[in-house]
Structure 1
Amino acid sequence: MMKQLRRAMLVGIMALGVVACSGDGETDAAKAEGGDVEGEVLVFAAASLTDAFGDIKTAFEEDNPDAEVQLNFGGSSALREQILAGAPADVFASANESNMADVVDADEVAGEPQVFVTNELQIAVPAGNPGKVKGLDAFANDDLLIGLCAVEVPCGDFAREALEGVGVEPAIDTNEPDVRALLTKIGSDELDAGIVYVTDVTSAGDRVEGIDIPADDNVVAKYPIAQLAGAPNGDGAKSFKEFVLSDEGQQILTGYGFGTP
């Protein structure tokens, strides 16, 4: 009788174990189907990524309903300084490789940065081109109001590289902290011309016109992305970076005019 009782108890314990394991499996499966990222994902991104990353945020949150992406846009050099000063961030997406290299050198990056898109420069003028700008030579004209991004901001460094390549000393009236600030002044007729990215001219719609820079005189910008070593949300950082590099993320980016790596 005692043996039968012990056998019955053992069978009952085993049955409970099977049910418990089955429950855990169902929970994991349900979690995977609903996305496995939770909490805030803090993304520091170059200003030229504003529109594209807005759509990427939406798509990522749809895949991960328990996650919330917080986007902080600015000039890549300013974002670099914020990261090096200890600002909490999970992901850094820079508009050039040199600012990312500074963050890598400071041991603030987990793993290796990856280039995820490219971009090219374009001359931007207000609608109707009141200054009659035709090319890079116009940037030496003191009679025009000329703007560039500031030195160390990628769009500013690339613009100066392009101008130096054709022997033009620009008559600069303003140096803006990021490409969107420059684009805003051009679109509101405060400037006759500036040098921004192709993607920014596209995003500005009818307010701005673009004048192509010949391929031999242009500069190709490479954008790297990295998970940060001190990421408050390491899983979220890894997943967001992977999403940007995925086919879906790349499709969103190319839809805004970015080139593939």
Structure 2
Amino acid sequence: MNGATIKGTTLTQVALKQVALALSLLLIIAVGACQPARVLTVLAAASLTESFDEIIETYRAEHPGVEVRVSYGSSATLAAQVASGAPADVFASANESTMASLAKAGLDVTPEVLTTNTLQIAVPPGNPGNVTELADFADEDRTIALCAVEVPCGKAAATLSERLGITPKPDTYEVDVKATLRKVELGEVDAALVYRTDVTSARGRVEGLPTPGAEQAVNTYLIAKLPDTADAGEAERFVAYVLSPEGQAVLRSYGFGGS
């Protein structure tokens, strides 16, 4: 016997269909559990690495349906990627002119002030090059690293040097502030000019020296939702969280000035 029938369909066939339906539902649930409901892509200046890592970790915990993916690098490089159509939802720049380049490229952005930062002299532990002030950066007998002039930390270094009447003689120009700091951490240079936040984040791998006049070259960081975002609402929520008292407290803990 093939089993009882219900209008031409055996009970066995009905049972198999029910099992298949149940398995399909379980598969849908499993896939949904493995894949976040939304993905948010953030591009941020290299100097924000440690602070944004902490902010994003907390944001993920408070928004379990959102996966935040972040890429750090030179603000100028990231801005060029955005202008070229790279998919992203939020951009955080280390200065105002880099963010303004997006508007010049025809993108409709409305940035908000994120925080501020200033430069500081960084030397290897023990200061083997006996660097004491920014004027020592003009000494050809010392090995010096600076950020490339095209990126925000390099522009700030050039501004500060000009205002203090100093002509640095760097041995290397690096692509961003983290690469510049790394030269100090590896002991490859006697000194570098980086952000004070990077000295803080290095946690003893470098020493920071007093840098009189640093307040003459303050970098204002900006953050903006990008016009081609795939999820404007989530992008706005993330920006709001970074600008909230909780987000600003994290930035200040790394030495940023607060917005």
TM-score, reference length from structure 2: 0.83
**2:39 corresponds to which residue?**
40
Which of 225, 241, 255 in structure 2 is aligned with 1:257? 255
Q: CA RMSD in A?
A: 1.4
**1:188 corresponds to which residue?**
186
Unpaired segments ≥5 residues, structure 1: 1-36
Counterpart-to-counterpart distance in 2, 1:81 and 1:74: 11
**2:105 corresponds to which residue?**
106
Q: How does 1:79-228 map to 2 (within 5 A)?
A: 79-110=78-109, 112-215=110-213, 218-228=216-226
Counterpart-to-counterpart distance in 1, 2:214 and 2:180: 24
**1:19 corresponds to which residue?**
none
SS in 1 for 2:165: coil
1:41, 1:70 within 8 Å by CA — same for their partners in 2?
yes
Alignment deviations for residues 208-230 of structure 1 (CA, whole Å, 9 cap, x no partner): 00112114664111000000000
**1:66 corresponds to which residue?**
65
Change (3 A) 1:106 1:77: same
Alignment deviations for residues 56-103 of structure 1 (CA, whole Å, 9 cap, x no partner): 111111111010111110010011111111110100000000000011
Counterpart-to-counterpart distance in 1, 2:189 and 2:38: 42
SS in 2 for 1:123: strand
2:199, 2:206 within 8 Å by CA — same for their partners in 1?
yes
- Match for 2:137: what amino acid? F
TM-score, reference length from structure 1: 0.83
SS in 2 for 1:108: coil
2:118, 2:214 within 8 Å by CA — same for their partners in 1?
no
Unpaired segments ≥5 residues, structure 2: 1-35
SS in 1 for 2:118: strand
Alignment deviations for residues 169-220 of structure 1 (CA, whole Å, 9 cap, x no partner): 1111111011001111111101111100110001111110011211466411
2:123, 2:208 within 8 Å by CA — same for their partners in 1?
yes
> 1:132: Cα distance to partner?
0.5
SS in 1 for 2:156: helix
Counterpart-to-counterpart distance in 1, 2:214 and 2:53: 32
> 1:106: Cα distance to partner?
2.4
Counterpart-to-counterpart distance in 2, 1:232 and 1:46: 21
> 1:251: Cα distance to partner?
1.0
Which of 244, 247, 257 in structure 1 is aligned with 2:245? 247
**1:234 corresponds to which residue?**
232
> 1:109: Cα distance to partner?
3.7
1:124, 1:193 within 8 Å by CA — same for their partners in 2?
yes
Find runs of 4+ consecutive structure 1 residues off by over 4 angstroms.
none
1:43, 1:90 within 8 Å by CA — same for their partners in 2?
yes
